[in-house]
Structure 1
Amino acid sequence: MPAVFLVVLILGLPLNILSLWIFYHRLRRWTRSSVLLFNLALADTFWLLALPVLIYYHLDHVRWGLGRPLCKAMRLFYHNYFYLSIYFVACISVDRYLAIVHPLRSLVLLGRRQTYLLCVTVWVVTVALSSPVVNMSTTQLCPRDNRTICTLYLLLENTVETMPYSLCCTCTGFLFPLVSICYCCLRSLKELRSRPHHPHRHNRGRRLRRVLSAVLILFALFYLPYHLTRNAAIILRMVYPNDPTSWRSVDMAFSLEMCLCSLNTCINPLFSCFVGRQFRKEFLDTFCSLCHKRPRPGVVTTSQLPKQGQGTMGHGMNVVTPL
């Protein structure tokens, strides 16, 4: 786990910080997708900044010496991040669905003000959903080697609280977003296939179909096994309360799923590149500038374009940058 977390930290933190910098400094006009993708990158960055604590904890042979309050805060933060990522990916899928299937109605249903309100709601809901973790997470003393550990709530032997809570999170935090993403992706794919053939639109439609299919596959690949192994770990503790050897295999599977889900922080910036056309252009230009110390020949970045009211654009004309 510390090896995987370290790789995720090295790869994911620069990518997400670069994404936040592009959102803040290079995108002059934010669309609905830009707002949602910015919040997704912000959630990834917060989690990555807290990841060194878990790396140190596992490198120190699972020995927690930072106190019970920080243990509770870390478990809350870890649990909250998963559902922040899930909900924002679901919101982005709904946004793409509205833009493809109901382009005119989407301007009313999900305007800029509604998008900001939706992001605030997602942060509040996920914190409320994860708040019981504070009461269920604690530090425990292992009598065999006299070391203190910071326990996950699902590893507690008392399953009276953990089982209902885990099932509640699975239904509201995973199954409901999964159904929403499935409907939005499949409905969008159907709409794209039914459109008349045009060379330029065909290439763009094919790219959108690949992105939507990848979102659905990756979402299920990351989070379905995670929730299955988490619930299985609790169920085995209910069925075999006095047989710890029966828990080990599923506990190991859940640990592997925690590592797998953490890779999501490295994939989300690439997901932003595929969803947002203007973000993709700025990301590639900035990345090439960092690698080669100068922009690519023949590539003009948005910072080099004439500003509103200058050059050939004419006074009072707005520059609209579509996704």
Structure 2
Amino acid sequence: MSATSGPSLAPTRDVGEIYNWTELLHFFNHTLPECHVELNENTKRVALFVVYLAIFVVGLVENLLVICANWRGSAGAGLLRLYVLNMAIADLGIILSLPVWMLEVTLDYTWLWGSFSCRFTHYFYYANMYSSVFFLACLSVDRYLTLTRASASWQRRQHRARRAVCAGVWVLSALIPLPEVVHIRLVDSFEPMCLFMAPFETYSTWAVAVALSTTVLGFLLPLPLIAVFNVLTARRLRQAGQPAGRRHCVLLAAYVAVFVVCWLPYHLALLLLTLHGAHISLHCYLARLLYFFYDVIDCFSMLHCVVNPILYNFLSPSFRGRLLNAVVHYLPKAQTREGRQASSSRSSSSTQHSIIITKEGSPPPAARPHHLPSLHFQAAPAPPASAPRSLVGS
């Protein structure tokens, strides 16, 4: 996509007043040195359209199912389902913007939807992108805190705190993209294009500032939180000595690995291309390859909208029970009993894939001031309304 946190090479002073082409070509010559690289743009456009379409179809179905299953009962005490629900809403927002990027790629980055949609579509994408990453970090932190804190006062406050954190994440994610979006404009030269258009005199400064803020806020700050707290959670689970502890540790490692694999190539390419020319000098062939494959890397980063529902929801027997229960809820009454029996059978026979930590047999807080409650790993029964207070990792 032409302006989605990507390097743009079309600075201007005003929407209706494009720089003279001598000045613009001089800018291009200092950022894209001449070298011969055989790259097929038509093949790339077709491949991107197919991948975007696949991500859109699969991600739309997955995230709608996650929202449907988690919306009912999201206020359950002691559950991390609130973060999972909000993360699915953010991922769905990203998915809903994909048709625009598919058409833009097919039309060789020609923008046909007007000036307002040029800014709004990019703002909508940015806000949901930051929200998805922030909710993932919040989920990692809160999972560990709920596992280690056993006080009754913490348990009473945690759901209210989660609601406040979720509201704060949405507000923060709505504010962060504003400095970049104000410089995204529709330029109608030969063909209308939606581009990042900071003033020419300060264009390099703005581009570097936007790229650094995107990488710092969207990757460098969340990554340590996600990695450290998932490692601490895995260490805690291994110390508990549960039979399924190794499987849970592998799942926690997958959470971190998927985040790194999806986002590291994108932010690395973004920084290299933004710094190229004015601040660092890349080899000619490397620069050409990065510019050519930047859209492919950008598209690849959106795979988290497909993988997140699987890791944090579909691998969980409790989620599958909630999903089946939600489906049964909308079936005719004559089929309700049969559906509930199937839900109970599926949940009882499923292999545990997600992390469910319950505090079993806990006496009143006054009777246990000097030790943590024991840890018990089990599949949550369906329907979930009868489940004890638990920490659901997916």
TM-score calculated relative to the size of structure 2: 0.66
Distance in 1, Cα, partners of 2:154 & 2:114: 49
1:147 and 2:191 aligned: yes
Would the alpha carbon gap of residues 29 and 289 (structure 1) be closer, same or farther in structure 2, given more than 3 Å must change?
closer
1:177 and 2:248 aligned: no
Give deviations 1:236-262, integer Å, cap 9, x for gaps. 142589x99874322233212211111
- 8 A Cα contact 1:222 1:261, kept in partner: yes
Distance in 2, Cα, partners of 1:167 & 1:253: 20
1:320 and 2:364 aligned: no
2:148 to 96, 101, 109: 101
- 8 A Cα contact 1:140 1:149, kept in partner: yes
Give deviations 1:244-288, integer Å, cap 9, x for gaps. 987432223321221111111111211222686532432366689
Would the alpha carbon gap of residues 153 and 184 (structure 1) be closer, same or farther in structure 2, given more than 3 Å must change?
farther
Superposed displacement of residue 55, structure 1: 1.8
Would the alpha carbon gap of residues 237 and 110 (structure 1) be closer, same or farther in structure 2, given more than 3 Å must change?
farther
Distance in 2, Cα, partners of 1:110 & 1:228: 39
Would the alpha carbon gap of residues 210 and 238 (structure 1) be closer, same or farther in structure 2, given more than 3 Å must change?
same
One-letter code of the match for 1:209? C
Question: Secondary structure of 1:138's match?
Answer: strand
Distance in 2, Cα, partners of 1:188 & 1:20: 26
Distance in 2, Cα, partners of 1:138 & 1:106: 51
Superposed displacement of residue 182, structure 1: 1.6
1:202 equivalent in structure 2? 243
TM-score calculated relative to the size of structure 1: 0.80
Would the alpha carbon gap of residues 106 and 162 (structure 1) be closer, same or farther in structure 2, given more than 3 Å must change?
farther
1:41 and 2:88 aligned: yes
Question: Secondary structure of 1:222's match?
Answer: helix
Superposed displacement of residue 186, structure 1: 1.4
1:283 equivalent in structure 2? 323
1:80 and 2:124 aligned: no
Q: Give unmatched runs, 5+ long, in structure 1.
A: 303-316
- Pairs within 5 Å for 1:1-323: 1-25=48-72, 29=76, 31-104=78-151, 107=154, 111-142=158-189, 146-152=190-196, 158-195=203-240, 197=241, 201-203=242-244, 205-239=245-279, 247-273=287-313, 278-283=318-323, 295=339, 298-300=342-344, 320=388, 322=390, 323=392
One-letter code of the match for 1:217? A
Question: Secondary structure of 1:172's match?
Answer: helix
Task: Please tell me whether Structure 1 or Structure 2 has the larger radius of gyration of its CA atoms.
Answer: 2
Question: Secondary structure of 2:182's match?
Answer: helix
One-letter code of the match for 1:184? F
- 8 A Cα contact 2:91 2:128, kept in partner: yes
Quote the RMSD (CA, aligned, Å): 3.4
Q: Give unmatched runs, 5+ long, in structure 2.
A: 1-47, 347-384
- 8 A Cα contact 1:285 1:301, kept in partner: no
Superposed displacement of residue 136, structure 1: 2.0
Identity across the alignment (%): 24
- 8 A Cα contact 2:184 2:196, kept in partner: yes
One-letter code of the match for 1:7? A
- 8 A Cα contact 2:180 2:210, kept in partner: no
Give deviations 1:129-173, integer Å, cap 9, x for gaps. 11112122122245xxx211112579x992221102221232233
- 8 A Cα contact 1:43 1:85, kept in partner: yes
One-letter code of the match for 1:148? P
Would the alpha carbon gap of residues 180 and 99 (structure 1) be closer, same or farther in structure 2, given more than 3 Å must change?
same
Would the alpha carbon gap of residues 275 and 109 (structure 1) be closer, same or farther in structure 2, given more than 3 Å must change?
farther
Would the alpha carbon gap of residues 83 and 188 (structure 1) be closer, same or farther in structure 2, given more than 3 Å must change?
same
